[in-house]
Amino acid sequence: MKHSLDILPLQSWIDTGDKPLIIAGPCSAETEEQVVSTAHLLANTGKVNVLRAGIWKPRTRPGEFEGIGSVGLQWLKRAKEETGLLTATEVATAKHVEEALAAGIDILWVGARSTANPFTVQEIADALKGVDVPVLVKNPVNPDLSLWIGALERINGAGIKKLGAIHRGFSSFEKTAFRNEPMWDIAIQLKTIAPELPIINDPSHICGNRELIPYITQKAMDMDMQGLIIESHIDPSVAWTDAKQQVTPAALADLLDNLSIRHAAS
Ligand code: PEP
Ligand code: MN
């Protein structure tokens, strides 16, 4: 499969030393106190580069918490001011892109449900024209490598060269131990087609429960993935979304300490 990606290496836009890029933070921003206190605990580990939090949440079914909305951007901004962590959030519409950029969010990501819809991805890409911001594109919910590459091409086509992919696993009819099947071969194919594209693993959404996370995280490192995005909440048991898969900042530090990393990320 041909592709036409023109991208910059990860280390040219974020300095992680010789370590993988670590993005961590709650699935959803819930309250200002939750975002800011989680950020402090994560920053204090000394192992986290970027604070993540979903502000607009694409829920599979209606009637559940759909995100705190724009006010959460100010909480991320405060967390950054107090901790120095960079910030990242999911964008799914042109308006999200405009608001996130106006609030100074450092990294945007496209969620798995959005990647599956070329109209949505194109809308996001159009809103990014002329902007210099890193964008990470999650794999689509369905195991379709072309959709993933197509989304990366649309964002890249808008002039975004600070580009990365997030491997978060794929929905499957078959129920297994994983919430989303990793289907590692799809990530391997992406790596083969676009070796210069950084791939960041999202063990939280692959596993769906925190017990499996160390196993998937180690596997991602063994495959030389260049980073991790892991959901971390100050008190996972009361998280408003994805409670079963979130880990405390202390557990995250422990997890990262116990990883064996063969190569420096490049
Ligand atoms: C998330 O990161 O919280 C999220 C909604 O992820 P995904 O798009 O991978 O389902
Ligand atoms: Mn989540």
Q: Residue 87 in contact with residue 76, Cβ under 8 Å?
A: yes
CA 230 – CA 82 distance, rounded (Å) = 21
Q: Which one of the ligands is nearest to 92 CA? A: 1
Contact 197 CB / ligand 1 (< 6 Å): no
Check pLDDT > 60 for residue 239. yes
Structural domain boundaries of the chain?
A: 21-56+69-257
Q: pLDDT class for 2, splitting at 50, 70, 90?
A: low
Give which of 190, 184, 186 is closest to 164, Cα–Cα. 190
CA 217 – CA 222 distance, rounded (Å) = 9
Mean pLDDT of 191-208: 97
Contact 54 CB / ligand 1 (< 6 Å): yes
Mean pLDDT of 62-76: 96
Centroid of ligand 2 to alpha carbon of 2 (angstroms): 32
Check pLDDT > 50 for residue 266. no
ipTM of the complex: 0.99
Check pLDDT > 60 for residue 119. yes
CA 165 – CA 230 distance, rounded (Å) = 15
User: In CATH, what number does 21-56+69-257 get?
Assistant: 3.20.20.70
**Please, what is the angle between helix 118-127 and helix 94-102, to 10°?**
30
Centroid of ligand 2 to alpha carbon of 109 (angstroms): 13
CA 151 – CA 5 distance, rounded (Å) = 11
Check pLDDT > 60 for residue 136. yes
pTM for the whole structure: 0.97
> Ligand 1: which atom is nearest the Cα of residue 27?
3
